[in-house]
Amino acid sequence: MSTLVADRVRAALPALPRAERRVAHEILASYPVSGLETVARLAERADVSGPTVIRLIARLGYDGFPDFQAALRSEIEDRHSSPLLQYERRQPAADGDHVLLRTATLLASTVEHSLAEADPETFSRAVALLCDPKRRLFTAGGRFSGLTARNLAQHLAILRRGCQHLDPNDWVPYLLEVHRGDVLVLFDMRRYQRTSVLFGREAVRRGATLILVTDPWMSPLAVDAEIILTVSVEASSPFDSQVPALAMVEALIAGAVDSLGDQVTMRVADYDEIWDAQDFAYLEHGRDDA
């Protein structure tokens, strides 16, 4: 997996001199567009000199500003890559390279990378928001990522009160009833669904706190989010994988269980009792009501 410009900037931040740190923050604030400006314009926005910008670019490992901007342009192309374009780029499988083994190897790598590269402090802040009983919790997502968002909501609803998944038909009614302090976990992967971006921004404007789960190129909602969790979308097919995002959901659920501890025991027991009373387990008991 190639290192994105934003990853290099974030990794370098703690050790940067103050002036270069201002440039780095400016790059990340409107990423990736800010990095496509001229040296003079970027320096002006960060209130530093042109040479300071050039020093930062060299420190990040690029052979000058043109090389830095070429990397950003390549990212932008990947960011808006459609399944058709990915299909055209697809390399033929090597002899003996069975799709099962190829997929298993890639998924193991992308899941490990996505979880290992997540910042523990940022992840812990996300879990704290998910477990805050004073906040209502909502999840939402796009055409495919909505399934992953629903999975998170269904599990957290067992652990805490006030948790709900929002389908697109629910978005406008929800915006009419936003409570300041609501937590909205929104999944938005490339090619970034316009309706999801508009919904997330309006929810934030009305007082919701946004946790964004997105890909390494980052949804436009990144500038509005309180917390950003990035996951890989690499796949062995032309379609972006949801598996790393689902792995992040599993990690968030595990974090919530650890955080809430024994206080949820009675709620889970009550949930199981109500579930069993509905007789949803009849197949398990060998009944056949057909």
CB-CB contact of 217 with 75 (8 Å) = yes
As a whole number of angstroms, the distance between CA 200 and CA 243 comes to 23
At 76 the pLDDT is: 75
Mean pLDDT, rounded, of the chain: 87
Higher pLDDT, 282 or 289: 282
Class of domain 112-277: alpha beta
At 82 the pLDDT is: 52
At 188 the pLDDT is: 94
Residues 6+ apart with CB under 8 A from 103: 236
Confidence check: pLDDT of 92 > 70: no
At 216 the pLDDT is: 82
Cross-strand bridge partners of residue 164: 138
Please spell the DSSP secondary structure of 18-38, one letter per residue.
HHHHHHHHHHHHTTTGGGGS-
Lowest mean pLDDT among 34-38, 66-70, 161-165, 170-174: 34-38
User: 5-78 adopts what CATH topology?
Assistant: Arc Repressor Mutant, subunit A (1.10.10)
- Residue boundaries of the structural domains of the chain: 5-78, 112-277
**181-195: buried (b, 16+ CB within 10 Å) or exposed (e) per residue?**
ebbbbbbbbbebbee
| Pick from 6, 243, 191, 187: nearest CA to 85 | 191
pLDDT tens, position by position, 62-89:
999 999 999 888 877 766 655 544 444 5
